Amino acid sequence: MTTKRKIIGRLVPCRCFRGEEEVISVLDYSHCSLQQVPKEIFSFERTLEELYLDANQIEELPKQLFNCQALRKLSMPDNDLSNLPTTIASLVNLRELDISKNGIQEFPDNIKCCKCLSVVEASVNPIAKLPDGFTQLLNLTQLFLNDAFLEYLPYPALRLWVLGSIHRLSQLERLDLGSNEFTELPEVLEQIHNLKELWMDNNSLQKIPGCIGKLRQLRYLDLAKNRIESLDTDISGCECLEDLLLSSNMLQHLPDTIGMLKKLTTLKVDDNQLTSLPNTIGSLSLLEEFDCSCNELESLPPTIGYLPNLRTFSADENFLIELPREIGNCKNVTVMSLRSNKLEFLPDEIGQMTKLRVLNLSDNRISPFTFTKLKDLAALWLSDNQSKALIPLQTEAHPETKQRVLTNYMFPQQPRHDEDYQSDSDSFNPTLWEEQRQQRMTVAFEFEEKKEEEDNSGKVEINLKRYPTPYPEDLKNMVKSVQNMVGKNQLPLSTGTNSSGTNMEPRKQEQYEPPWPMPPKEVTDRVTPHTQKPTHTTTLSLSHTHTQIQKQMIILYIVLFG
């Protein structure tokens, strides 16, 4: 019974509540950088029920710790323990033991005295053997031995435990033997009738024997990352199986009896060598997640349309040329990924998948298709180089069928050559992307460009004139002096002579615009200040002096405005 004082003892474990020892039942020393067990713990040996020593640097457990006979949970993962002392047998009320992520090599044989043990977490330890007394823990319900460096039954004691006495653990429900070196599945597992969850992933299993079908209470089976080449037909005996993980194996086919797993909700067979799927796959009426990516599938069975509860479907990196029309009956699918296939079109029935929100079609050969009924579609992937999931679409008419379709500039996709392939980890090639984008735009926006040309045909072209930025204040005086020189050397509109003294024909008036905007007060005539402001139409002489002035003006203009 938890009291207010017990909670205080958990929050402030290092404070000594003298006079209240009888109510302290939980102490938490996790992440305290301890090198040994605090001595304050021994003051509560009569009442202490839970002790947490997680993530410290403890190398040895003192004998006084095992005088806490009321202890029910002892948690000390991620320390530097190398063994468990034999005095652990005195913890007769211990129910949960967590010694994962240490350096423990063996269990003491007298651990059999901990009759109440129900959960043992010993993962990530270099365990050399398991004692025979371990099989006498009849109340054990959960046993975790993953990443324990167990090889192919190298030790007699381990062989005896695995092949001979484990069946005595009739209450065992969860068994984790993943990430070890097992090459075969122990047949004696069939005698653990209450086993509900079994992990054998990341081992070296080559086949699954038919005895697996005798685990009728099994709900979760993880056989991923092995070398399994075939699955026995007796797998159908696991009638309660809900999750079956067979990823990253060497399966070439699935048995037809897999359709008898009526309660299956998750099926993962990705990263195998499957060339086809059995038609009985359609019998899995409760299936919600199906992943068959990274195989050699050229087609999907039409019975896939008999999966009404399917919500996530992945068939990436296969050789699919088309999809069965029956797939439109999977109306509850929200995520569908068909990346890296050979699809050229999608059936019109895909428009019936009204709950579809994410559709990945990148790296295919898709032509314009219709899914105008997919109102909930929020993310559409069409290219490996695509940076955003949401793609703007426009309605167009198919040139051959005249059918109204949704398309964009990425349709149709360009066929990809294997030598040009770059994985997701490679750097982005902007040049290649720009070339592909230009090619796609010529196809995708052909209709829109014509429309814009027609709309712009009656518009008047407007020329914008750019004026230079006003020059700094310290250069104004220089500009004024140049303007004064220009005003004094202007000649009246008449017949002039050149520098050699010969007569010249009267020339027409030329419109002269200064290379920068002139302020109004500087435009007035410098010779006749009382006259009105002259126009900017002026005749310039070609005298030698004026030519020099023009050169100075040009040089100044270049200096000012580059």
The tens digit of pLDDT for each residue in 181-213 reads 888 887 667 778 899 999 999 999 998 888 899
Residue 442: φ, ψ to 5°: -65, -25
Does 118 have pLDDT greater than 90?
Answer: yes
Give the containing element (helix H, strand E) for 8.
helix 4-11
In 105-262, which ranges are continuous DSSP H helix? 156-160
In this model, does residue 22 exceed pLDDT 50? yes
Between CA 310 and CA 333 the distance in angstroms is: 6
Reported confidence tier of residue 225, pLDDT bands at 50, 70, 90: very high
Find out whether 203 and 183 touch, Cβ atoms under 8 Å.
Answer: yes
Q: Over the Cα atoms of the chain, what is R_g?
A: 42
Question: Taking the C-alpha atoms of 135, 136, 138 and 140 in order, what is their torsion angle to the nearest 10 degrees?
Answer: -50
Q: CA 328, CA 313: separation in Å to the nearest integer? A: 13
Residue 274 half-sphere exposure toward CB, CA atoms < 13 A? 29
Question: At residue 249, what are phi and psi to the nearest 5 degrees?
Answer: -130, -160
Mean pLDDT, residues 509-524:
46
Residue for token digits 């063996």?
106
Beta carbons of 297 and 275 less than 8 angstroms apart: yes
How confident is the model over 396-424, as a mean pLDDT? 60
In total, the chain counts a number of residues equal to: 562
Which helix (H) or strand (E) is 447 found in, with range?
helix 446-456
Least-confidence region, from 92-96, 206-210, 441-445, 540-544: 441-445
C-alpha 333/C-alpha 312 separation (Å) is 6
Which residues lie across from 138 on neighbouring strands? none
Report pLDDT for 402. Answer: 74
Most confident range (mean pLDDT) of 125-134, 318-327, 447-456, 480-489 is: 318-327
Which CB contacts under 8 angstroms, 24+ apart, belong to 256-265?
Answer: 256/280, 257/233, 258/231, 258/284, 259/283, 259/284, 260/236, 261/235, 261/236, 262/286, 263/239, 265/289, 265/309
pLDDT of residue 407: 67
The pLDDT tens digits of the residues spanning 431-450 come to 666 665 555 433 332 333 33
Model pTM greater than 0.85? no
For 430, residues 6+ apart whose C-beta sits below 8 A from its C-beta are none
